[in-house]
Structure 1
Amino acid sequence: MSLYDHQTLKIQPAVSSAPGAGGEARRQDCAVVIKTTHGILLVAADGHDLSGQGGRTARLVVDAVDKHYHAWNGQGPRKMLVDAFGLANAALRQAAAEQQLGTPAVSLVLLHYQEGMVRIAHAGRCRAYRQRNYVIDQLTEDHVAPDQPDDGFPTRAVGLYPIIEVDVSDAHFIQPGETYLLCTDGLYRSLSDIEIGRQAMNGEPEAAGETLVRQAIARSGPASVSLAMIKFTQPQGQKLSAAVTPTPTIEHAHGRIPWTPIPWRDLGFWWKVRLAALGVLAAWFIVLLILWWGFGWGGLALAAPAGPLATAGAAIAGRLERGAPPPDDEAAS
């Protein structure tokens, strides 16, 4: 943990993206920076739909994350990240079913900054890097099969399965001078980690990002490239501790749609009828249970409606209380 006031940090987020030689029609990825009163969220998404809808599905996923983050109340940032994956997964699968998009898959990586701490969550082939003290570290692991190359189809991605598996880092304090970078595979397949780190530490994040994208496009050809960066600058004249934050630990989680109660007024007519009937049955069961507990089988006989069935029920209850067996069918007839 570092000894500094995170409120005095100079925080510089930036986004850069280019479609590549294939043009906008072949763009498969996108990146955004979302700012709210609860922090800053960096997002990078890369679609893998073979039908050419990768860019569309990536934007759909980013829109779902954006909507979820703006509705977040600021409590439980780790849960917020996991829920963002679950909601984006459900939104993409629903759109795929309604619009006949096949089985789309979108790699997604999120970085959340709040009050001096950073958390990262990802699934797929998008990466998160940290550049600090002339060293760049890859913070995420690509989710591809061991026998597949780096550009192989991801084994985890938004939209692939009803429940998405997410890797989530623990919260760790940032150090002034650090730069974090999220990117799609178009960047790291074109430039080495050393090249990415060298450029990320030079100048302002916006200019550095534009240079990285331009260099990657020059080498990758038709592949599109998107990245989001955030740089934390050391406050002027503030003395820092020599402590160094470790590389964040990555944990495993499952993204599901968060459960929210539905108001009674929003339920349909037949749902209200069903719930009312269940309520009546539950109340009647409780009454029978109380009668049996207080009066035994005789109490249950008293609770039965009047008539021949009630008379027979009372007779059977009386015999049971005296320890006599109930009459068989022949005796009853």
Structure 2
Amino acid sequence: MNLNRAPEVYFSDIGLFSDVGLERSNNQDNIGCVRFSDKRNFLVVVADGMGGHQGGEVASHTAVAVVQQKFSDYLGMGDYAHALQKSFHEANTRIYQLSQTTPELKGMGTTLVALALIDGFAYYANAGDSRLYKCSKGECTQLSQDHTMVADMVRGGLLTPEAAENHPDRHWITRAIGTKVDEKVDSSTEALAIKIGDCFLLCSDGLYDLVTDNEISQIIVECPAQDACKQLVDLANERGGHDNISVIVVKIVDKPPVLKEAPVTRV
């Protein structure tokens, strides 16, 4: 475990927003947030479903619901990284079973990214190309790893990051929750101590396809969490909104946040 000390006194400002975008007829993204008995401890999740109109919605909704429930059940394990991994595998099993027993859902699946903050330490996991970023001191770093054919080519030295940005197959996903009996899940290898001023962003590709890392960092650092979510979604829509757009912002602050409007999902 990372032995860096987390701050003894901190609060979390959390914003959530999911939007259908401008070109899709339905929202196949799903987002969720669960706070635990210690209000500083929470789990946030973003899923981007695939598999047709109904299949994508069912897959993303199921993934978020299962991970929230199972992670809560596994909190007593004490090994939070393993609890997150187990929760993802439970979601994979549930979705795969549904797809095998319901003909209209056959082939459905979903990306999935989650962040848990427990007792001052962050843990995360992902499968697919929905992302988790950490923004601190003006720098925005992607913590999750994209599971796409193009990302694999970049990691293998076959393609430059610049060429990957506009590659026609950049969203050809190589891992997804629910598309096969078992799926490999990436997760944090050690607990990440949080600091006052740290900001985290979870999002579907509908955001980062249209909004740059620098723009993301500037908006979430300068704005309260819910305002930041709204601004990011509005910016993506201004640039075409060609996909569903889902955003969760988490800010670690030194005093209780002023709550504004409730988290929003528009379908």
Classify the TM-score, shorter chain.
0.7 to 0.9
Structure with max Cα Rg: 1
- The whole-number CA distance in structure 2 between the counterparts of 1:150 and 1:117 is 36
TM-score, normalisation: structure 2: 0.81
Structure 1 residue 21: deviation in Å?
1.8
1:192 equivalenced with 2:212 (yes/no):
yes
Q: Secondary structure at the match of 2:234?
A: helix
Counterpart in 1 of 2:173? Answer: 154
Matches within 5 A, 1:251-290: none
- Of 140, 153, 175 in structure 1, the residue corresponding to residue 144 of structure 2 is 140
User: For residues 117 and 149 of structure 1, do their structure 2 counterparts lie closer, same or farther at Cα, with a shift above 3 Å needed?
Assistant: farther
1:183 equivalenced with 2:224 (yes/no):
no
Answer whether contact 1:217 1:223 (CA < 8 A) is retained.
no
Matches within 5 A, 1:301-316: none
Query: CA offsets per residue over residues 115-137 of structure 1, 9 Å max, x none?
Result: 11001100100100011011111
User: For residues 149 and 182 of structure 1, do their structure 2 counterparts lie closer, same or farther at Cα, with a shift above 3 Å needed?
Assistant: farther
1:115 equivalenced with 2:119 (yes/no):
yes
Instruction: Return the letter of the residue paired with 2:16.
Output: V
Per mean C-alpha deviation after superposition, the further-off stretch among 220-229 and 114-123 is: 220-229
Counterpart in 2 of 1:14? Answer: 15
User: For residues 106 and 113 of structure 1, do their structure 2 counterparts lie closer, same or farther at Cα, with a shift above 3 Å needed?
Assistant: same
Q: Secondary structure at the match of 2:187?
A: strand
- The whole-number CA distance in structure 2 between the counterparts of 1:40 and 1:149 is 37
User: For residues 216 and 150 of structure 1, do their structure 2 counterparts lie closer, same or farther at Cα, with a shift above 3 Å needed?
Assistant: farther
1:77 equivalenced with 2:80 (yes/no):
yes
Instruction: Return the letter of the residue paired with 2:66.
Output: A
- The whole-number CA distance in structure 2 between the counterparts of 1:12 and 1:91 is 31
Structure 1 residue 221: deviation in Å?
2.8
Counterpart in 2 of 1:61? Answer: 63
- The whole-number CA distance in structure 2 between the counterparts of 1:44 and 1:235 is 26
Structure 1 residue 48: deviation in Å?
2.1
- The whole-number CA distance in structure 2 between the counterparts of 1:228 and 1:153 is 24
Counterpart in 1 of 2:164? Answer: none
- The whole-number CA distance in structure 1 between the counterparts of 2:145 and 2:116 is 18
User: For residues 128 and 42 of structure 1, do their structure 2 counterparts lie closer, same or farther at Cα, with a shift above 3 Å needed?
Assistant: same
Counterpart in 2 of 1:98? Answer: 101
Q: Secondary structure at the match of 1:11?
A: strand
Structure 1 residue 159: deviation in Å?
1.0
Query: CA offsets per residue over residues 5-55 of structure 1, 9 Å max, x none?
Result: 43x2021112111111245x4212121111112620010000122455312
Query: CA offsets per residue over residues 134-183 of structure 1, 9 Å max, x none?
Result: 11111112101136656423101101221110111121101110101110
- Of 249, 253, 262 in structure 2, the residue corresponding to residue 229 of structure 1 is 249
User: For residues 89 and 45 of structure 1, do their structure 2 counterparts lie closer, same or farther at Cα, with a shift above 3 Å needed?
Assistant: same
Give 1 or 2: higher helix fraction.
1
Structure 1 residue 234: deviation in Å?
3.6
Gaps of 5+ in 1: 237-333
Matches within 5 A, 1:201-216: 201-216=221-236
Per mean C-alpha deviation after superposition, the further-off stretch among 210-219 and 144-153 is: 144-153
Q: What is the percent sequence identity of the aligned residues?
A: 26
Q: Secondary structure at the match of 1:72?
A: helix
Instruction: Return the letter of the residue paired with 1:46.
Output: D
Q: Secondary structure at the match of 2:175?
A: coil
Instruction: Return the letter of the residue paired with 1:139.
Output: L
Gaps of 5+ in 2: 154-166, 257-267
Instruction: Return the letter of the residue paired with 1:72.
Output: Y
Instruction: Return the letter of the residue paired with 1:216.
Output: A
Answer whether contact 2:30 2:61 (CA < 8 A) is retained.
yes
Structure 1 residue 61: deviation in Å?
1.0
Count of paired positions:
234
Answer whether contact 1:34 1:40 (CA < 8 A) is retained.
yes
- The whole-number CA distance in structure 1 between the counterparts of 2:183 and 2:6 is 37
- The whole-number CA distance in structure 2 between the counterparts of 1:235 and 1:26 is 38
- The whole-number CA distance in structure 2 between the counterparts of 1:69 and 1:166 is 15
Q: Secondary structure at the match of 2:247?
A: strand
Instruction: Return the letter of the residue paired with 1:82.
Output: Q
Extract structure 1 runs of 4+ deviating beyond 6 A: none
Q: Secondary structure at the match of 1:164?
A: coil
Answer whether contact 2:135 2:199 (CA < 8 A) is retained.
yes
